[in-house]
């Protein structure tokens, strides 16, 4: 074998070794990447199972319909790396929304940011306004109406309706949370608004003289 042929042979052998080493490194990187993605997928699957149980428990706690957690069939080609990233982001987003839902469940359905006293005052105030309107209507229909009906029955009906409104509108979704109905406030508003209105009219009438 001539010297030039031998040099060509050695050069090709070295190039072949370099190609083999490069291919081995590339194959090893692929295997390592596949193993890493497989481990990541297993972790995401475990998180999904735990999250599913948490969501079902949260729905029961908030007295909502349990969500459907059946897997959706995948169609077409899926690139594993972007898909795993999207799934991880979706899990994180669902965790945040679940925490927000749990926090919202602690608050009443009506005016959730209002304090209990202000909310109950508003509801009983509306009931008291209805009581006053009914009492005024009773006096317009009859100059001497039944005092028991006007001063006791009508306010009692308004108080009952106000209490029902408080118990429904101010009830949080969390089943074990008690509703503060402020019954004394309701009694004061519903039974006191009529006499207070009469007193105000008498004072104005006395001043006008």
pLDDT at 9 over 70: no
Q: Which of 98, 110, 115, 124 is nearest to 171 (CA)?
A: 110
Distance, C-alpha 162 to centroid of its chain: 26
Q: pLDDT-derived band of residue 151, with 50, 70 and 90 as boundaries?
A: confident
Residue 172's φ and ψ, nearest 5 degrees, are: -70, 165
Tokens of 209: 């003289």
Among 18-22, 77-81, 126-130, 190-194, which is the least confidently predicted range? 77-81
Q: pLDDT-derived band of residue 175, with 50, 70 and 90 as boundaries?
A: low
How far, in Å, CA of 127 to CA of 139, rounded? 19
Q: What ranges do the domains of the chain cover?
A: 3-105, 116-208
Tokens of 139: 């006096």
Predicted local distance difference test score (pLDDT) of residue 2: 54
Tokens of 116: 């209990």
| pTM of the model as a whole | 0.54
Q: How is residue 174 annotated by DSSP?
A: S
How far, in Å, CA of 133 to CA of 44, rounded? 62
3-state SS class at 114: coil
Give helix then strand counts, H and E, for the chain: 6, 0
pLDDT: is 157 or 1 the higher one?
Answer: 157
Tokens of 200: 């105000």
pLDDT at 163 over 80: yes
Q: Which contiguous run of DSSP H or E holds residue 18?
A: helix 3-61
Distance, C-alpha 201 to centroid of its chain: 48
| 34-81 confidence digits (pLDDT tens) | 677 777 778 888 888 888 777 777 777 666 776 666 666 666 666 667
How far, in Å, CA of 27 to CA of 21, rounded? 10
Task: Report helix angle 154-169 to 183-208, nearest 10.
Answer: 130
Predicted local distance difference test score (pLDDT) of residue 50: 83
pLDDT: is 208 or 121 the higher one?
Answer: 121
pLDDT: is 70 or 162 the higher one?
Answer: 162
| 94-133 confidence digits (pLDDT tens) | 888 888 877 777 777 777 778 888 888 999 999 999 999 9
How far, in Å, CA of 71 to CA of 55, rounded? 15
């Amino acid at each position: 074998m001539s010297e030039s042929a031998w040099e060509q042979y050695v050069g090709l052998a070295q190039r072949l070794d370099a190609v083999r080493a490069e291919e081995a490194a590339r194959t090893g990187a692929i295997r390592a990447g596949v193993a890493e993605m497989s481990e990541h997928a297993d972790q995401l699957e475990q998180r999904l199972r735990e999250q599913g149980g948490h969501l079902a428990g949260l729905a029961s706690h908030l007295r909502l319909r349990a969500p459907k957690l059946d897997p959706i069939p995948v169609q077409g080609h899926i690139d594993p790396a972007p898909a795993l990233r999207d799934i991880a982001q979706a899990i994180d987003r669902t965790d945040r929304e679940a925490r927000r839902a749990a926090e919202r469940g602690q608050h009443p359905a009506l005016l959730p940011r209002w304090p209990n006293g202000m909310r109950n005052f508003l509801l009983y105030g509306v009931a008291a306004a209805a009581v006053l309107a009914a009492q005024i209507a009773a006096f317009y229909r009859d100059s001497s109406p039944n005092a028991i009906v006007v001063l006791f029955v009508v306010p009692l009906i308004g108080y009952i309706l106000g209490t029902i409104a408080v118990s429904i509108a101010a009830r949080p979704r969390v089943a074990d949370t008690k509703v503060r109905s402020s019954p004394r406030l309701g009694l004061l508003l519903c039974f006191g608004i009529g006499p207070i209105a009469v007193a105000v009219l008498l004072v104005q009438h006395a001043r006008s003289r």
